[in-house]
Every structure is written in C-alpha cells, then in structure tokens.
Structure 1
C-alpha cells in the first residue's frame, strides 16, 4: 500500500500559493452570495415583503445554482479548474456590481421578479466556485492528506461567512445597505486578478512532477486526460457511494440553508438582536469560528481515528446538528441563542466540507472531481431552494416556534444515510453478492 508522499518545502510552499488564493476567492464568493441573507430583514422591511415573498428571491438563486453546478461540473473537468474559477469570479463580480448600482439608483419596480432574475444569474457564476476549488486541489493533495484539506475547505467556507455575515453586518450598521453588494463586487474582482497570475491546475503546470494521489482514478494510465462525457456520466451515476452521498448532501443543504437564510430575522424578531450589536457579532463570528473548528475537527477525526473514512465522522456530526438545533429552537435566552447559531454551524460545516470538499475528490478521483462536486453541491442547493419560498411560507403561517423542528428531520436522515456507507473508501469494491466472500482492497493501491 503506497503512503502519502513526503513533499519538500518548495512543493508545500507552491501548493500554499495555489490553495490559499483559491480559498480567499471562495470566501469572497460567499461575501457576494450571502449578502442576500445578511440584508434579508432590511429588504423585507424596506420593500414590505413577507417571508414567503423574500423566499422566492432566495429560491430562484438556489435552484439556478443547483442546476448550473451540475452542468458546470463536467465543464470544469474538461476546461480545468483555473479557467472555471476565473469565469465564475468575473461573472459574480459584475452581477453584484449591477445589483448594487440598481439599488443605489432607487430601484423598486417589480422588485421580486427583477431581483430574482439578477440573483439567479449571480448564482450561475457562483456555481463555478466549489467545483473549481475541488478540481484544482485534487492533483495537489494525496488522498491521505485530504481529510486535512476537508478542514481547509471548511475554513474557506467559514472565512466567507465572516466576510458575508460579520463584515456585512458592520457594513449595514454604518453604510447604506446596498453597499453589501458593491463592496463584495470589488473584493471578488481583486481575487480574479490574483488567481489569474498565481493558480495552476496541476503540480506539473507549476514546475513539479505529478504524483499518484491514491484516489479513484489514480491507477489509470491516462489519468491526466479528461474523460469522454459519456464515460464520465456513467462513472458518476452508476456509483452507489456517490449517489448515496448526493442524497446525504440534499439533507445537508436543507439544514445548512434552513439555518443560514433565516437566522438574521429570527434573532431580530424573537430575541430583538440588531445589526452591529455585540450579540449579533457573536452570532456571525460564531458561524466563522464554529465552521473553522468543525472543518478541522471533522478532517482530523476522519484521518486519525477512522483511517480516512468519511462517513463515520459525518454520522457523528449529523447527530450533533440535531442536539444543537433543538437547543437553539427551545432557548429563550438571547445570549444562548447567539452562541448556538455558531455552535450549530460547527456540526453543519464540518459535514459540508467533508462531503463536498473531500469525499468528492476521493470517490470522483482527479478525472471526475468537479463532476462529483457539482452533483453534491447541486442536490444540496435543490434542498436549499425549499428553505426559501416553502420554509418562508410555513414561517409566515406557523411562526418561529416551528423553525428548527422543520430542519432537524433532515439531520436525522443524513445520519441514517451515513450508516449505509460506514466502511466505504475510494478503491474498495462494492459489497459482493450474498454468500460470497468479500475481497477487501486497500484505500490506496500500490503502483505497478
């Protein structure tokens, strides 16, 4: 069984100059995506929108993202992650600029239709983000290093939430609210320029030798070439593990956006916590800190305690979601509610980073990493769309007492799905027919 290679200092330094700018880019993507979340209460109050009406705008974006990321995954596998991240960054920057300028000039006519369209186009370009990060990093990290990368991916996500929620809250408390669209536009464009000069698709493109990454396509002789589209689709959709992961990410999507889309109006209406206050900053900073801790902890436990198996640690984190969401929904304390927002995100982001960022590389391999990441991210946003108009409708009807109870069943379903994959690793053969002996295969095949 081959082990993770011992990289020299020069390689590690160059790899850092690859994934760190990508991480910052992904963080600015979140700043330009979840600015809608942080501005939700301001928009509803200013334009007299019900939660259901605001949810329509969110759903338009979520479902556009879901469909786009599924198509853009195979595209990124063919054109490369660098080109994909540049397309996404430039487009998202332009769309946030347009939205901000429209509100700057007093736009109010047909707001729901117009904002739904513009936010949907923004989400199309946003959909290049995660799959590009996964595609670029797959050749740079051995499978036994990817649990740590899952933690890094979680930090990327958490950094984005810090920019979107905490910095966005500061912007709303001291500037005109449309600045939460204009400032992210500039940040994303800055990272577009950085990626243009720094990011390389493979170690070979940066002057190093490519190596056996130990994932699902590492043993193939022509693994540096893109797969034919038909073979790519067959490889992904005939894989029981990937399909099960897709169902689990559907659950993650509902839990994640169910919390993040509505926590701002929840804190304001139930606990009377406003933008710019210490309690609000505690909640939004808690999202960042909780996400970082969850990402690192999830990756560490997976690599060290479960020998790079992802499902067992995901199972634990799904159960953690249930407990934390129950406490969040029941507490009457503004302090505890603010704390539980971040604590819940620790369990949620840990699973999200592990499944989308790590398992997609493991089971898709370097040749299908973007396609698998696109599938997992896509089904997640299909579920996210339900948290927009549908959850908004039920919140209008039933009130905040129903909020976390609508979310928790999806955490339970995610945990149950992980029990179906408990011992799965990238190169392990599917379970044999009943009555035959199972041939166990190592996580990483020896090179011939």
Structure 2
C-alpha cells in the first residue's frame, strides 16, 4: 500500500528548518558577548558575515553533491538503464576520486587560504552540476554509456568540492579559539546540515515537479552565485580583515613576526646612523659620497617583502611530522573510515529503502519525514556534540564520538526490526543525529585542535579522504547487499562497522592524568610564555577586548 501524500508538509518543514538555522545564527552572535571571550559587536558581525558566507557556500556543495541520491532510486535507474549494483560502481568511483583529492587539495588549501579555496571549489562544482544537467536533458542512451558519463561528471564535481570541504575548517580555526571550537562546530554543523535539507528535501520537491536534470541545474547556478559572494565577504584570517589573531598559535606567530620587524627596524636605524656619520667624515675630508650606505636598508626591505608574502601553511615535512607522528591522529583516521561507511551508507540508500520497502514516493508524508529527520537530526547532532564537548567534557572530543557511535548501532537495530513506517523513519532519522555528532567532532573539531591553524586543511583533508574511502566502499557493497538480501542485508552491513568505530575510541576515552606542579625552571618558561600572550592581548587586542 502506497504512503499518503501531504503537499502542505513541505512548507511546514521548510519553516522549521529555516527557524533552526536562524536560531544557530543568533546563538553565534550572542554567546561571545560573555567572558572569557568577550568580543566587540563589530568583530562579531564581521566574523559572522565571514563564516555564514563560507558555511552557506559549503551547504550548497551538499545541494550539488547529494543530489546524486535522487538519481539512486528505482525510477531513475530505469531511466538510465542501470541496476543498483551498476549505479553503485558510479558511486564508488566518484567517492574514491573525492577521497584522493580531498587529501591532496588539503595541502593546497593550507597554502592558499580558505577564501581562495571556497571560490575555486564553488565555481568548479557549479559548472560541473550544470554540465551534468545538460547531459541528462539530452541523454538518449542507456546502460554502460551512462555509467561512464555519470562517473566522469560526478568525479569532476567532487574534485572541486574538496576545496570547499577543507576551506571551512581552515577559516574556522583562524577565527575561533580552541575553547570555542566545539560550540562553533555545532553551530557551523547546523548551517552545513542545511545543505542536506537542500539536497534531500528541496531537490526531492524539484524532482517531483520537474525533469531529473533540474536537481543539477538549480544547485549549479546557486553555487556560482555563492562563489561570487565569497569574493566580497570572506577573509581567510582576522588579520586579513584588520583584526588581531584569536588563536594561541597565531598570536605567538604574530608576536614573533613583530619581534623580527622591530629587530630589522633597529638594525636599519643603527646602519643609517653609522652611514650618516661616515658620510659626514668623508665629506669633511673631501672624499666622494658613500654609495654603499643604503645596502643595509635594501637587505632589510627584501627580508620584509619575503615575510609579507601570504602563506597560510607550513613546510610540508613539518606538516606531515605534526600529523603522522601523533598516534591519536592515526587512530582517528581509522575511526573516520568507519564514520564514512556509516554516514554515506544511510544518506545514499535511505531513499531506495523507503521507496522499495515502504512504497513511499518523494512527495509522501513518510519520505518527507525521513528526509527532514535526517536533516534536523544532523543539525542537532553537530550542535549537541559541540555543546557537550565544550561544556561537559572540558573540550575533549572522544567521549562524545564514542557515545554517538554506540547510539548509532542501537538505531540500526530499531530500523532492522521496524514493523511500521514511522518506527523505521525514527531509526533512520536518529542515525543522522549520531553520524553528524561523530563527523563534526572527529573530522572538523579534532582536526583543528590537533593540527593548528597552519595544518588544519591538510588534517581535515586526510581525515575526510579516509572517511570517503569508507563511503566509496558503501557504493558497491551496499548496492550488492541490497540487490541480494534487500533492506535487511543493507542494515546488517552497517551494524558491525559502527560497533568497530566505538571500540576503537575506547583507548583514548580516559582523561589524561593531571600534570604535576612545574619546577622553578618550567614555571619561568611558562611565565615567559604567559607574558608574551598577555602582551598580545593587552597591546594588540585592546580594541578587541575593550570597546
């Protein structure tokens, strides 16, 4: 029996999702008016305009990436002349392409900064979506030719999307202090999850009332528009916008740069005074003018020009050592593989599940509730993880990820044994809450915490690339399981991997022992460090702390 339809439900869902998005924006605008990170409104507004533009740009990349799930349905398979397994091949290849280039491009983004990366990524993805829409509009063949064409178009799209994936964290790590990043990642996750609403709910509405190609044309045009917004509203760092840095590592680097500038200025002044004295003596003796007097100034100018070159990253050798010599980072790489399997295993196949097992069309109440549940679950999952991490776990991330993976395993069991459509919808929706918790905490927040501002994009790229390897394997594996065993085979394939991810986090769950009181020498070093940081706060950020 087919599920009932409710045309009004889409409007209600849109209002609810938009209200959550507005609430997240208000939270960001208000929570930093309290100590210890009390910023003036001007800084908060500039930061808000910065990240909301980057966030909505990345949300639109979801709009233009997960629109592929609208093609992974029985009616679209018939139109293309493909089986579930054949379409799974397309999914696997394009995701592997994403996995490779999100790692490679992460290094590039660390060099060019978040603004440039967002512009490149949004422009390229927009063009790729429009080209895909054109192909589907004039498509005549079926079968193998569509496998080849769609694999190329989707891979081309995913290559450019990798720039936006790492850009969001590259921007965030520079604009938010470590103690703010959990909540920030939660707020940012709501904006990103808005992209799931666009991809699943809005694209579903578009497909229900127009040709399949429309779900690629619309995201393509919007992505191109947001690329233009990034040119005018996004700054890679606070310094680029005329504000002092807020991250501890950036503050220390700024203090070191200022120290080098002061030393060069003092050296030039000493050289100039010495040259003037020599010139006075030579003139009195009737000698010619000292032509070499300006060489010191020229050398100092070259040093300044070299230092002023914009480079948001660090040397590759140092960058790789920072990441791959950290055992916690290596463990998180394996956990993120499990997250990719669990996350895309749901997102790429839930539509087929509700269509084949519950006979729910895109416009049915059940299908829309499932799509909305995934979106809202993802929103509150990322926000909840950030709040619990910062305010209940002392900015520690692994306990939150562990709890979310355990809960995910339970939700899969609920969906597996569901006898009613609403129970299945509840189980699938809550899996979104869980995988969003882990995705936000591990792939974004942990990457920022462990890597620092100069290596964040590379860390995010590596973690997200490994996650996408897990995602890629779901394409072929889940398609084959669904073809042979149906929905129960698909759900069974998700269960053991989520349990494995939870088990892997157990070694890093215990809170580390408190450090012993430092000796006199260590206290002196710490005091020196605090003096530098205090000077940075009092001298450079005085306008920032006190209006």
1:173 pairs with 2:208? yes
2:236 is aligned to 201
1:210 pairs with 2:242? no
Distance 1:397 1:278, change over 3 A: same
CA positional deviation for 1:38: 2.0
Q: Helix, strand or coil for the counterpart of 1:420?
A: helix
**Residues 127-151 of structure 1 deviation map (CA, whole Å, 9 limit, x = unaligned):** 1122100001111000000011120
Distance 1:423 1:18, change over 3 A: farther
In structure 2, distance between residues paired with 1:421 and 1:334? 38
In structure 1, distance between residues paired with 2:100 and 2:227? 24
TM-score (norm 2): 0.75
Match of 1:30 among 25, 50, 62: 62
> Is this contact kept in 1: 2:408–2:434, CA < 8 A?
yes
Match of 2:372 among 254, 275, 285: 285
> Is this contact kept in 1: 2:182–2:389, CA < 8 A?
yes
**1:324-339 matched pairs, under 5 angstroms:** 324-339=411-426
CA positional deviation for 1:398: 2.0
Q: CA RMSD in A?
A: 2.0
**1:378-393 matched pairs, under 5 angstroms:** 378-393=465-480
**Unmatched 5+ stretches in structure 1:** 430-441
> Is this contact kept in 1: 2:378–2:432, CA < 8 A?
yes
CA positional deviation for 1:393: 1.5
1:439 is aligned to none
> Is this contact kept in 2: 1:138–1:365, CA < 8 A?
yes
**Residues 368-397 of structure 1 deviation map (CA, whole Å, 9 limit, x = unaligned):** 000000011000000111000122122212
CA positional deviation for 1:6: 2.0
Q: Helix, strand or coil for the counterpart of 1:176?
A: coil
Structure number with higher helix proportion: 2
CA positional deviation for 1:447: 5.8
CA positional deviation for 1:214: 3.9
1:262 pairs with 2:295? no
> Is this contact kept in 1: 2:369–2:425, CA < 8 A?
yes
Distance 1:218 1:419, change over 3 A: farther
**Residues 149-205 of structure 1 deviation map (CA, whole Å, 9 limit, x = unaligned):** 120232133101000000011011111111001010011111111111100001111
How many equivalent pairs are there? Answer: 428
TM-score (norm 1): 0.92
In structure 1, distance between residues paired with 2:55 and 2:463? 19
In structure 1, distance between residues paired with 2:128 and 2:439? 26
2:139 is aligned to 106
Match of 1:89 among 101, 107, 122: 122
In structure 2, distance between residues paired with 1:143 and 1:92? 31
In structure 1, distance between residues paired with 2:446 and 2:335? 12
1:63 pairs with 2:72? no
**Whose Rg is larger?**
2
1:6 pairs with 2:38? yes
> Is this contact kept in 2: 1:158–1:289, CA < 8 A?
yes
In structure 1, distance between residues paired with 2:251 and 2:445? 15
CA positional deviation for 1:336: 1.8
In structure 1, distance between residues paired with 2:120 and 2:531? 36
> Is this contact kept in 1: 2:99–2:467, CA < 8 A?
yes
